Structures are given as structure tokens and as C-alpha cells.
Amino acid sequence: MDKMILQGMEYYGYHGVFPEERKLGQRFYIDLELSLDLREAGEHDDLNKTVNYAEVHELVKGIVENQSFQLIEALGERIASSLLDTYTSVNALTVRVTKPHPPFDIHFKGVTVELHRTRK
């Protein structure tokens, strides 16, 4: 199966267990791997035969920036289900949600959850 990969999409959202995270907000990074057949789009050079990644970006932006979740797992789940509901040509997907600066008194580059979902 072919893949469309969107890497390092950056958004500002209000997600976290702690009240200050949901009040002050922070940056989140989203990576997507969409599994779909890209043959017709490639053969015909036709945007209508693929998934428009600018639209995907806007859909994800709306979720990350306009909704609030305690867990990045829930954020990832909402992104995955919304993409599968919106784009019927996507057979499976992987969503990675990275919180680069979690509010812990330890030093690391961030925490990432990765979800794999397939069409039922």
C-alpha cells in the first residue's frame, strides 16, 4: 500500500492533565502516515484522485487548536477517527502526537504517542 506522510506539523493547543496546561497552552507536533492507493493520482496528475494534504492539515489544526483533551492519547484518537471518517480512500493510518515540553522536573526532548488505526 502506498503512503502519504506528513511530518512535523506544529500547532499550539491546550491539552494536558494539569490545569495550567489547559489554560496557558503549549506546542504540539503531529506526524501522520496515511495508507492509500496513490496510483491513479500519480498516473493522471490529478488532485481529485488523492487526499489533499492541505485539507488534512486544516482538519488536524482544527482539532489540536480548538479542542481540549487531558491526554495526548485522546488527542491522537480524535485525529485518527476524524481522518478515517473524512477520507474514505485512507485504509489505515498512523498518528504520532508529540508534546515537546511536558511539565515535569526531568529533562528529555518530549513524549510521543503513536496510534495505528485501520478502517473497520
Q: How far apart are CA 99 and CA 25, in angstroms?
A: 11
Chain CA centroid to CA 22, Å: 19
Report DSSP state, residue 88. Answer: T
Residue type at 51 in one-letter notation: V
Per the annotation, the verdict on 99 as an active-site residue is yes
Helical H runs in the chain?
Answer: 19-24, 39-44, 53-66, 72-86
* C-alpha to C-alpha distance for 85 and 13, rounded to whole angstroms: 22
Catalytic residue among 3, 49, 61, 99: 99
Going by their DSSP bridges, the two strands 3-13 and 92-99 should be labelled as unpaired
Known catalytic residues? 99
